[in-house]
Structure 1
Amino acid sequence: MSNLDTALSQRHRLSIWHVYRSGLENLSITPFLVPGKEYGNSSNRNLTREDSTSSGNHSAQPSGYFVQHPSLLFHNTPRILRRGHEKGGDPICIIKLGAFWRSWLVQFSDDLKNVIDPRGLVRWECRSNSDNSISNNDREWKGYRVRSWRVWGESGAEYHRKVNARRKALKEEAEAEGLVGRSKGKAKENDLEMGVVESDGGLVGASQGMEDWEDEDTQPSSSRPSLPAETSQRKLADEALRLHWRSPFSINTRNYCFEYAGLKFSWEGTRDIHSDHGWNRNLLPFNHLNLVAKIPGLVEEEVLVAQYISSFSNDKHGQLWVFDSAVTKLLEKTGHPSKWIKITENNERFSLDIDWDVQQTRLYDIVMATSVCMIIGEWQKRAILWMFISTLYSAAVLGIL
Structure 2
Amino acid sequence: MVRLREYAPRTLGSEKVRQFQWDTDSGMSVSVISYGAAVYSIHIPDKKGIVADVCLGYDDIESYAKINTPTLLGAPVGRVINRIRDARFQLDGQTYHVAQNFGRHFLHGGYEGFNKKNWNVEIDGNRVVFSYLSKDGEEGFPGDLITTIIYEVTEDMILHQEFIATTSKKTIVNLGNHAYFNLGGHDAGAEALYEHIALINSDKITDGDEDFVPNGEFIAVGGTPFDLRTPKRLGDLIRNAGPIFHHNFCVTNYNEKTLNFVARMNHPPSGRSLEVYSNQPGLQFYTGYYLPHPPELPLPGRGGTGYRRHAGFCLETQNYPDAINHPNFPSPILKPGEVYKHRVQYRFGVDK
TM-score, normalised to structure 2, is: 0.27
Find the structure with the greater CA-based Rg.
1
| More strand as a share of residues | 2
| Larger RCO, structures 1/2 (Cα 8 Å, 6+ apart) | 2
Q: Which has the higher helix share?
A: 1
TM-score, length-scaled by structure 1? 0.25
